[in-house]
Structure 1
Amino acid sequence: MVIPLAEKQNFLVPNATFFVELLAFVLLFYLLARYVIPPINKAMTARQEAIRKEFADAEEAKSKANQAEEEFRAQIADARHEAARIREDAREQGAQIIAEMREQAQSEAARIVENGHAQVQAERQQAVASLRAEVGTLATTLAGRIVGESLEDDERSARVVDRFLADLDTIETSEAAAK
């Protein structure tokens, strides 16, 4: 069967196949729009929110890490300042202890020297007293031999010896002043 040219169908006029395809397309579009696309959109939206939340958490963690780092640096700086202060206090205390020990040693040395001077002075006094007694005895004995009489009177001999020693002291002090 040959279709004459005049009877050929016009392609602008839809036929039944077109309407079936259109109906299948609309039905498929409705099903996709109703049951498939909303869960996909919901999953994509949830995924986008999760990504946004992860970025926000990452930013927050980064800011907390920066803040913790700044606090750590501040604590280190404070610790260094505290250590420097403690070292300085220790130096000052050491210097103070050294000064106190020097002062104590000097006072102890002065006390020892003073005790030494006092002991030397006491021994000198003792030696002078002993020498006076011996010189007096010797002088009296010698004077008795020279004079030819005994000068055994203790009072008189003590006065003579004292006067003699006083004269000697006077002579020594005048010679020391002349120098």
Structure 2
Amino acid sequence: MLTSTVTIAAAESVNPLIPTLPDLVWGTLAFIIVLAFFWWKVLPSMNKALDARRDAIEGRIEAAEAAQAEAQAALEKYTAQLADARAEAGRIREQARADGTAIVAELRDQAAAEAARITSNAHAQIEMERLSALTSLRSDVGSLALDLAGGVIGETLTEDAKAQAVVDRFLAELEASEKATS
């Protein structure tokens, strides 16, 4: 009998991998309670937190896109202003070149006019000095000729109008002969 009790006891021994019926009932009941708690309390608050996080991320993405669009518009505006400024600088540069060319031309004209005036004045002054020298030379030559003629004749010839006319006639003949030879 002892052997039969051991055999029956061995046959009735509990497998540690298979739970007993009361353990299954209580375990299932505890699982359902924990599942219900998570389903009604934890899961909604977790969903709220995840939704809030998603909304915050979407809001930041929208704000970043708006900021990027605004920056792009500012860049386009800046680029347009820069192009306008460069065009204006080019126009100003061309206007300055044109003004500089006009000023140089005006200064050249003024310099040419001043040079012509100075040349004209110099020619007039030279002509006046030539005539003055010629007049002075005629009177000096006339008086020397009269003195020389007086020394040859032995008498002093007075410088009257007749003597002056003789000297002028002689000088005119001399000038005419010089012009004919040249």
TM score, norm. by length of structure 2: 0.68
Partner of 2:5: none
Partner of 1:13: none
CA RMSD of aligned residues (A): 3.4
Structure 2 segments unaligned to the other structure (5+ residues)? 1-21
* Mapped pair 1:122 → 2:148: no
* Mapped pair 1:46 → 2:55: no
SS at match of 2:158: coil
C-alpha spacing 1:52/1:171, structure 2 compared with 1 (3 Å): same
- Identical counterparts, % of pairs: 46
* Mapped pair 1:57 → 2:69: no
Contact 2:146 / 2:157 at 8 angstroms: preserved in 1? yes
Greater Cα shift, 133-142 or 58-67: 133-142
| Offset from partner CA, 1:25-61 (integer Å, 9 cap, x none) | 7655553343222211211211121121122112112
* Mapped pair 1:102 → 2:99: no
Aligned structure 1 segments of 4 or more residues deviating by more than 4 angstroms: 16-30, 141-150, 163-173
Structure 1 segments unaligned to the other structure (5+ residues)? 1-15
Q: For 1:131 and 1:103, locate their aligned partners in 2 and report how far apart those are by CA, in whole Å.
A: 41
Matches within 5 A, 1:1-179: 27-28=33-34, 30-141=36-147, 151-165=157-171, 175=180
Greater Cα shift, 75-84 or 124-133: 75-84
Contact 2:146 / 2:159 at 8 angstroms: preserved in 1? no
Count of aligned residue pairs for this structure pair? 163
C-alpha spacing 1:93/1:153, structure 2 compared with 1 (3 Å): closer
| Offset from partner CA, 1:140-171 (integer Å, 9 cap, x none) | 44555777865425122123334444566677
